[in-house]
Structure 1
Amino acid sequence: MAKNFHTDNKAFMLYKDWEDIFQALDSSEEIGELVMALFAYAKRGESPKLSGGAKIAFLMMRAAIERDGIAWEEMCAQRSECGKKGGRPKKSDESGNTDEKAEQTAASADNAEEKPQGINDTAEKPKAFSQTKRFSEKAKKADKDIDKDKDKDTDIDIDKDTDIDIDKAIDKDREKDAVAEKSVVMSFGTHKNVMLTSEQYNELESRCRSVGLSLESYISKLSQWLFSKGKHCTDPYRIISGWLDDDSKRKAAAKPKNKQGCDLSWYDDFAMNVDLSKFL
């Protein structure tokens, strides 16, 4: 038989947020009327005649009581349906076997008691059990050793990879430092107004040294000229390089040519071997 929450349920819910609704009523009489109306509806399904704020509050609370009562009726119906099907199902383990396994175990124990007295299986069972146990322990130890070896190999590989990554990072940092060092702009000259990178300075100095010229004289000359004119040179490397090429060509053209020498070795031989008696 279906349950009815008005007659069969012995309780109903009063919610905490209803306190604000009760406090909003004008008088204690309205509060008392509202409370009695809630009991009348929850116990017998009656809807008393109210007015004003009490009527509005009752309509809101009645909806909540009706919702809770329907949920209670559905829960009772589900329990009744489960009872008709035989109650809770038998317990089952992870593999899905029910209590039938326990019954089979009990039956096998009864059969063991019915064996003749001359047959004794107890001597072999401990032996087989001990061998199986030893084998399983050895297998577990072997698995542990394999896992340890794998962990060691993994650690070695990780260390190697880490070392390689660190070396690559160091090489990249060195390359970056080298490029940055070459691209660093420094000021030269008497007035520090000749701007050259370290790479440009080293190249010009090497060229000057090869032809016997002084790079500092070129830098001082350009620095003094820029200061006197109040100008700024955007590419001093090109100017100094042009001066160096012109002076190298002039120096090569002004170098005296080697004169052809006179070989007097034949005269030495003649003087040493001449016969002076012919001239006496």
Structure 2
Amino acid sequence: MAKNFHTDNKAFMLYKDWEDIFQALDSSEEIGELVMALFAYAKRGETPKLSGGTKIAFLMMRAAIERDGIAWEETCAQRSKCGKKGGRPKKSDESGNTDEKAEQTAASADNAEEKPQGINDTAEKPKAFSQTKRFSEKAKKADKDIDIDKDKDTDIDIDTDKDKDKAIDKEKKKDAGTAESVVRSFGTHKNIMLTSEQYNELESRCRSVGLSLESYISKLSQWLFSKGKHCTDPYRIISGWLDDDSKRKAAAKPKNKQGCDLSWYDDFAMNVDLSKFL
């Protein structure tokens, strides 16, 4: 029966990178609400109703829990498949003979009792010896096959562990990329959610044209709070405002006018010969 990580797995992983997400929340009530939501999803697959920064944080953490759970289910399925392979060796009696060998020995004893007198028993010994040798070789071959099956099972387990390690490394890389774009709350009412990468990009663009990113964030934060609304993509809105204001500022910038230098006229007035005009 296939495993379900919601009901069969007894644990789920909390990553150290999530500390920044918890710290970005406004109050301990939101942190407690987020923790209970994580347990509800990991244990029963439930998705509670959340809002604001708590909802965004839950969606990010839920994706990581789901990836871990799917990897756990695949590992359990592979181990179950490997456990069904391999055979069980035949039982042996106290003398070390297998069941097949014991039956052959008993049959040879019965045939020896039924032989009529006058038959040389010594002549039959080489035959019995060859049969015993053949049976021993079969038993050794069976043991060798069992050892080979065990080696194959061990190789399968090793390959499974390698695949698991690769999956863990892949998840760590994904989590490292997620940590670089941790969502943080900005604005007067802490309702503007931007990643560190988005914030740095907008700040650099504002600085290049002499504008203030904080004024845009405060403006959008106040408007959302007054209207009781939630913005799903504040980066796009602020970026659009910044483009429009940059164009207006470039259009309103006065053009350089040619200056009028009258210093030559002073020299002319002081040295002019007025007799020429009389």
Moved more, 9-18 or 93-102: 9-18
DSSP-derived class of the 1:187 partner: strand
Moved more, 200-209 or 269-278: 269-278
Q: Is the 8 A contact 1:82 1:88 kept in 2?
A: no
Q: Is the 8 A contact 2:86 2:153 kept in 1?
A: no
Segments of structure 1 that go 5 or more residues without pairing to the other structure are none
| TM norm structure 1 | 0.35
Moved more, 67-76 or 29-38: 29-38
Say whether 1:37 aligns with 2:37: yes
Deviation, 1:104, is 48
Deviation, 1:182, is 3.0
Moved more, 100-109 or 145-154: 100-109
Pairs aligned (count) = 278
Change (3 A) 1:197 1:129: same
Deviation, 1:49, is 89
Deviation, 1:258, is 2.6
Higher relative CO (Cα under 8 Å, sequence separation at least 6) belongs to 2
Segments of structure 2 that go 5 or more residues without pairing to the other structure are none
Deviation, 1:186, is 0.4
Change (3 A) 1:215 1:123: same
Q: Is the 8 A contact 2:89 2:146 kept in 1?
A: no
Deviation, 1:235, is 0.5
- RMSD over aligned Cα, in angstroms? 33.8
Q: Where does residue 85 of structure 1 map in the other structure?
A: 85
Q: Is the 8 A contact 1:181 1:198 kept in 2?
A: no
Moved more, 267-276 or 121-130: 121-130
Deviation, 1:18, is 71
DSSP-derived class of the 2:132 partner: helix
Change (3 A) 1:12 1:124: same
Deviation, 1:238, is 0.2
1:165-218 alpha-carbon deviations (Å, 9 max, x no partner): 999999999987874443111000011110000010011011111111111111
Change (3 A) 1:129 1:188: same
1:1-43 alpha-carbon deviations (Å, 9 max, x no partner): 9999999999999999999999999999999999999999999
| TM norm structure 2 | 0.35
1:140-183 alpha-carbon deviations (Å, 9 max, x no partner): 9999999999999999999xx99999999999999878744431
Deviation, 1:255, is 1.9
Moved more, 68-77 or 180-189: 68-77
Change (3 A) 1:39 1:92: farther
Deviation, 1:219, is 0.4
Change (3 A) 1:258 1:127: farther
Moved more, 181-190 or 5-14: 5-14
Distance 1:81 1:124 in 2: 50
DSSP-derived class of the 1:195 partner: strand
DSSP-derived class of the 1:123 partner: helix
Distance 1:234 1:170 in 2: 31
Change (3 A) 1:94 1:32: farther
1:54-86 alpha-carbon deviations (Å, 9 max, x no partner): 999999999999999999999999999999999
